[in-house]
Amino acid sequence: MSLNEFEHADVVLCPGGPLLLRGEHVIEDDKGGLHRTTRPVSAVCRCGKSAKQPWCDGTHKVIPERARP
Amino acid sequence: MFTPKARGELSEALIDALRTDSVDARPALALDPTDDGDLHISLWVMYELMYRGFDDVDDDVEWNPTVLELRRSLERLFEDELRSKYAGEPLPEPFADKLAECIENHDGVSVAAFIQRDADLEQVLEFLRYKSIYHVKEADPTTWVIPRLSTGPKAAVIELQYDEYGCGDPNRLHSNMFVRGLEACGLRSEYGAYIDDVPLEVLKQNNAWSLLGLHRRLRGAALGHLAAFEATSSLPSRRIAGGMERLGLPGEMIAYYDEHVEADAVHEQLAIRTICGALVEETPSLAADVVFGAMTCLGLEDEFARRMLGEWSA
């Protein structure tokens, strides 16, 4: 790969944190509700504890490490 | 915006010289600052010449060598203080993970927790007046850094800033969301409206943003500062929004903090990983400055929080 080519994933799993989604998407939550992304990059909750499902609200940082994704 | 009130001999001489267009005729500008308040209001005034300027100062003074020389001498004092207090420790690999941990483990006092549970309306309005100095130009100091970066970190900063600037929609520009929140609360929303009221700690926070943003040499520290700011925003914003709901503040202001719960959960990851991680991978020699910038952000917020909690609990 040329030095001027960059890896730029559409979906990024953050260690111990959310899943980042680049671009426009519609997410179906576990109850069948649909949520459209509204920003260039969105963070989807992976720890299950966010109060703003399906989006990350930073709660993963205050739960025990073993409960983090 | 008009020039603020002086806080000592140096700022009095500086502001007077700026307003009367007589900077070059003033050997008085060789004065030492009376105290930190005098130093930091002087520095803030000189930085503002590079943002929006003042209605009572000629625009041409922005690049006046006498002003720049004074600014540089005050910046050296400020940077020396920050480096002696907030240099931080070198981080092991992997840098981005360790930076995230280091920010997460930082032990500071929290204004947000107080606002959530205990603050009264007057205290929250005071908090908003102080925070308005930065929030009405939110994200702007980071924009200075962009042309100083290579492709990877540059694109990463733009990805974050694009969201800060509302993806081009003025209604969603974060600074404008705060302006609308201020108006809904019956507070003044003009740029710099409350500068005469803010304590030293707020001036220091604002001057740190500008110091790090305006010097190419300090680009690593500017991005480390950004990373720490974003990584300590999401959870506190939720607490602040909760406190504002408890006190019945207008929805426009709550919306600003609510927006930051979600936005900064994203920005935190971008700032630590795609921005600082990529920067240090490409230029390892900037690692120490990234940590310095992050510790400076956390340390100055802690200074502000101690001041406010001290006053509010007195």
Q: Could you give the CA distance from residue B312 to residue B233 in angstroms, rounded to a whole number?
A: 22
Query: Within a domain: residue A2?
Result: no
Q: Show the domain range for A48.
A: 11-67
Distance in angstroms (rounded) separating the CA atoms of residues B246 and B259: 18
Give the pLDDT confidence score for residue B1 in this predicted structure.
Answer: 95
- A21 is a domain residue: yes
Looking at the domain assignment, is residue A59 inside a domain? yes
Interface probe for B, chosen from A10, A45, A49, A52 (most Cβ of B below 10 Å), is A52
Q: Supply the pLDDT for residue A66.
A: 86
CA atoms of B17 and B58, how far apart (whole Å): 11
Nearest residue to B225 (alpha-carbon basis) of B235, B213, B237: B213
Cβ–Cβ of A6/B155 closer than 8 Å?
yes
CB contact under 8 A, A39 and B152: no
CA distance A4 to A20: 23
Chain B residue with CA closest to A9: the answer is B274
Chain A residues closer than 8 Å to B152 by CB: 6
- Give dist(CA B185, CA B178) in Å, integer: 10
ipTM (interface pTM): 0.90
Q: Do A6 and B152 touch (CB under 8 A)?
A: yes
What's residue A6's pLDDT? 86
Domain count along chain A:
1
CB < 8 Å to A14, chain B: 269, 273
Q: CB A4 to CB B151 under 8 A?
A: yes
Q: What is the pLDDT of residue A65?
A: 85
Closest to B300 in 3D by CA, of B198, B199, B195, B204: B204
8 Å CB contact of A61 and B104: yes
Amino acid at B154: K
In this structure, is residue A5 part of a structural domain?
Answer: no
| Distance to chain B for A43, nearest Cα, Å | 5
State the best of A21, A24, A27, A38 to mutate against chain B, taking most chain B CBs within 10 Å: A38
Residue A16 lies in a domain: yes
Residue A20 lies in a domain: yes
Q: Which domains does chain B possess? A: 9-83 (no CATH), 90-313 (1.20.910.10)
Q: Which contiguous run of DSSP H or E holds residue A41?
A: strand A41-44
Question: For B56-155, where are the E strands, in sequence order?
Answer: none
Per-residue pLDDT for chain B (314 aa), expressed as one digit of tens each? 999 999 999 999 999 999 998 888 766 577 889 999 999 999 999 999 999 999 999 999 999 999 999 999 999 999 999 999 999 889 999 999 999 999 999 988 999 999 999 999 999 999 999 999 999 999 999 999 999 999 999 999 999 999 999 999 999 999 999 999 999 999 999 999 999 999 999 999 999 999 999 999 999 999 999 999 999 999 999 999 999 999 999 999 999 999 999 999 999 999 999 999 999 999 999 999 999 999 999 999 999 999 999 999 87
Task: Give me the pLDDT at residue B291, please.
Answer: 98
